[in-house]
Amino acid sequence: MCDRERGWSEVPLVKTWQLIAGSAVAGLALSAALVVTAGPWDSGQRKAERDRAASWSRTGGADHAAGGGLPQAAPSAPGVLGGLAPRPNAAGAALAGALTPLLADPALGTARGASVIDLATGQVLFESGAGDPMTPASTIKIATASAALAALGPEHRIRTTVTPGAGPGEIVLVGGGDPSLTAKKKSPAGSGGSLVALAADTAQALKAAGTDTVTLGYDDSLYTGPVLHQIGLDANIAPVTALTADEGRPDDSTSGPVDRSADPSKDTARSFAALLRDRGIKVSGEPARAKAPAGAQPLATTLSTPLAGLVERMLTHSDNDIAEALARQTALAAGRPASFEGAEQAVTEKLASLGLDLKGTRFADGSGLNRADRLSTRLLTALLAKAADPRHPELRPVLTGLPVAGFTGTLRTRNTGDSPAAGLVRAKTGTLSVANGLAGTVVDPSGRLLAFAFLAANTPDKAAAEKGLDKLAAAVAATP
C-alpha cells in the first residue's frame, strides 16, 4: 500500500459553526463499539456514523436532510461549545511548545512540514514548513477523494454492462471502471458491482430472446494510456483497467499487498464466461477484446458501491486500486482522457475550482505511490477544512472515511491503549520508503475540532517515522 512498503483555503465564519462543531465532535469522537462495527462498504456513509458525522447541515439534520436534533457528544469527547472562543496567542503558543521539540526528532528525516488549524474558526494554530510541497505518499488520497466527490457527488455509481455485440450471438462485457466489482458469490467487502448478478441477468435476457450460445468479448477501452503504474507490476496495485474484478486479487484478501493479475480485464471476462456457463449459457471459445457497438442498449447492468462508500473504503484501508479508479472517474467527469495524465489534469482543475491554493502541487497519480507527487501540509488541512464546511456536504465522506486511531484501518495498531489520540484522532496515513505522512482531525481537550497534517521526507526508518508522527498527533490531541 502507499502505505506502500507495506494555502489554507478560507473557511467563512458563520454563526452556526458552533452547532456544526458540536455535531462534528459527536461523530468524530466515536466509541470503540461504533468504529469497529461500522463497515466501510455500507451504501453511502457508514451507518453507525451517518446521523453523527454527517449531521453538519445548518438545520442540524442527518445526512442530506433537514430536521432532527443535534446528537449528543460521545462519552469520550469533552464538551465543545465552551471551547470555541478564539484564543490565538495561548492556543498557538501551547501547540508550538508541544510540537516543536517533536518535529526535531531525527526519525522524521531531513525535511518536515506541519499545519494545525481550528476547523470552527479557520484559525491557523501552528505551522512549520506548511507551504513547502513534499512527497505526500498516501495522504494524497485526501485530495483524490475530494476531487472525485466534488466532480461526481457521493451517490454516484459506476456501471458495468453487457451489450449485444456487432454480430449474431455476440455479447460484450463493458467495463466502467468499478473498483468494487467482484466475481465472488458473496463479496468479501460488502455491496458493490457483482459479476454474479450480472451473469444471472444476462443469462435471463439471453434465454428470453431464445439464445443459449454466445461468443463473449470484453471492452475495457474506457481507460486509456499505460495500464501499469509508474512503479510497475507490484503487489500494492493491479494494472489499472476499466474492467477489473476483485482488484485483480487471486485470493479472498480485500486490502494490503498481494500479487495481482497481470491482465485483470481478460481474467474478469473469463470469470464472467464461467458464470454464464453455470447458468446454462454456452460460451464459445476464449473471451476476446472487442468494442461495444455505439449506442447499444445493455442486456444487463450492475452498479458499484456509491462513491461515498468507495471513498471511505479507500481512505480507511489506503486502497491504491480504488484511488486510481477514482482519479480516472474524475477525468471522465471533466471530459479528459481516463489516463494517469488526464487524471492529473482533472484532479488539479477540480481542486482549483474549490478555491484551493495549489502552488507547487502535483498529482502524478491518485494513490500516492508515485514519488513525483507533491503536496503541502497547508493544502492537506485546507482540504479537510473544505470537507468540514457545511457548504460542501458532498465532501463529508473525506472525514467519515478516515481511519480511527487504535481501532480501524491503517490506524488500528497505532496510538492504541491509553494514548490521548486513541479513538479521537482520525487520520490518513502515508508511507513510502523515504517519505511518511499523517493528516486528519482530532478533538482537543478544550473541545475544539482541529485539522492537522504532518509530512516527513528522507526518513531513515519507516517504523520510527510512524512513531514520530503518532507522537505529533497525540500531542495535538492532548494540548488544550
DSSP 247: G
The stretch 46-51 carries a mean pLDDT of 44
Q: Which of 35-39, 257-261, 360-364, 402-406 is the least confident region?
A: 35-39
The yes-or-no verdict on residue 394 having pLDDT over 90 is yes
Which pLDDT tens digit goes with each residue over 417-447?
A: 999 999 999 999 999 998 999 999 999 999 9
Percent of the chain with pLDDT over 90: 78
Neighbours of 99 (CB within 10 A): 22
Residue 106 DSSP class: G
**Taking Cα atoms as reference points, which of 59, 52, 36, 9 lies closest to residue 396?**
52
- pLDDT category of residue 190 using cuts at 50, 70 and 90: low
Which sequence positions are flagged as catalytic?
Answer: 138, 141, 318
Residue 186: pLDDT band (50, 70, 90) is confident
CA distance 441 to 422: 12
Backbone angles phi, psi at 124, to 5 degrees: -80, 120
User: For the chain, give me the number of helices (H) and strands (E)?
Assistant: 13, 11
Instruction: Judge whether residue 27 has pLDDT over 80.
Output: no
**250 confidence band (pLDDT: 50, 70, 90):** very high
Q: How far is Cα 320 from Cα 371, in angstroms, rounded to an integer? A: 14
Which pLDDT score, from 0 to 100, does residue 129 have? 98
d(CA 93, CA 74): 29
Residue 63 has pLDDT above 60, yes or no: no
Cα-based distances in Å from 238 to 138, 249, 362, 417: 16, 8, 22, 35
Look up the pTM and report it. 0.84
Nearest to 395 by CA among 404, 386, 405, 408: 386
Least confident of 53-62, 382-391, 409-418: 53-62
Q: Is the pLDDT of residue 16 over 80?
A: no
The mean pLDDT of the chain is 85
Note the pLDDT tens digit of each residue in 87-114.
455 678 999 999 999 999 999 999 999 9
